[in-house]
Amino acid sequence: MRPLACILVAVAGGSSACAAISGLDSYSASPGEGADAGKAGHGGENADAGGGAGEDGASASDGSASTEGSAGSDDAGCGEGVTCTGGAICVEGVCTGGPDADADGASGSAGDAGCTHVNLPPSINVDATQWTFATSPTWNCTSGGTTTITANASGASIAGDDCGGSAVLGDITNAYAQTTGGLDALVIRLKGLTVTGGHVIELAGTEPVIFLVEGDVTIDSGGTIDASASGTTAGPGGNSSACGTSTGTNSNATSTGGGGGGFGTAGGYGATSNGNSGSAGGAAAASLTLQPLRGGCAGGTGGGGTNNAGGAGGGAFEISAAGTISVGATGTAYLSAAGGFSPGASTSVTSNGSGGAGSGGAILLASPAAATFAHSSVLRAHGGGSGSARGLSSNSNAGSNGSTTTDTPAAGGSGPDVGGAAGAAGGLCAGTGTTCATSAAGSDGNHTSVAPPDGSGGGGGGGSVQVISAAATAACD
Q: What is the pLDDT of residues 441-472, one digit of tens each?
A: 999 999 987 777 789 999 999 999 999 999 99
Q: State the average pLDDT for the chain.
A: 82
Q: Is there a cis peptide before residue 31, judged by omega within 30 degrees of 0?
A: no
Q: What is the pLDDT of residues 170-226, one digit of tens each?
A: 999 999 999 999 999 999 999 999 999 999 999 999 999 999 999 999 999 999 999
Q: What is the pLDDT of residue 352?
A: 86
Under the banding of pLDDT at 50, 70 and 90, the label for residue 92 is low
Q: What is the pLDDT of residue 396?
A: 92
Q: In whole angstroms, what is the distance from residue 107 CA to residue 376 CA?
A: 45
Q: What are phi and psi of 148, to 5 degrees?
A: -110, 125
Helix spans in 188-347 (H): none
Task: Please determine, for residue 276, whether its predicted confidence score (pLDDT) is greater than 70.
Answer: yes
Q: What is the pLDDT of residues 114-164, one digit of tens each?
A: 677 789 999 999 999 999 999 999 999 999 999 999 999 999 999 999 999
- Beta-bridged to residue 321, according to DSSP, are 213
> For the stretch 346-364, what's the b/e string if a residue is b when 16 or more beta carbons lie within 10 angstroms of its beta carbon?
bbeeebbbbbbbbbbbbbb
* Closest residue by Cα to residue 70 from 84, 87, 50: 50
204: CB partners within 8 A, 6+ apart: 148, 149, 150, 151, 235, 236, 315
Under the banding of pLDDT at 50, 70 and 90, the label for residue 230 is very high
Task: Please determine, for residue 70, whether its predicted confidence score (pLDDT) is greater than 80.
Answer: no
Q: What predicted TM-score, i.e. pTM, was given to this entire model?
A: 0.79
CB 235 within 8 A of CB 305: no
Q: Residue 130 carries which DSSP code?
A: G
Q: What is the pLDDT of residues 381-407, one digit of tens each?
A: 999 999 999 888 888 999 999 999 999
Task: Please determine, for residue 24, whether its predicted confidence score (pLDDT) is greater than 50.
Answer: no
Q: What is the pLDDT of residue 263?
A: 98
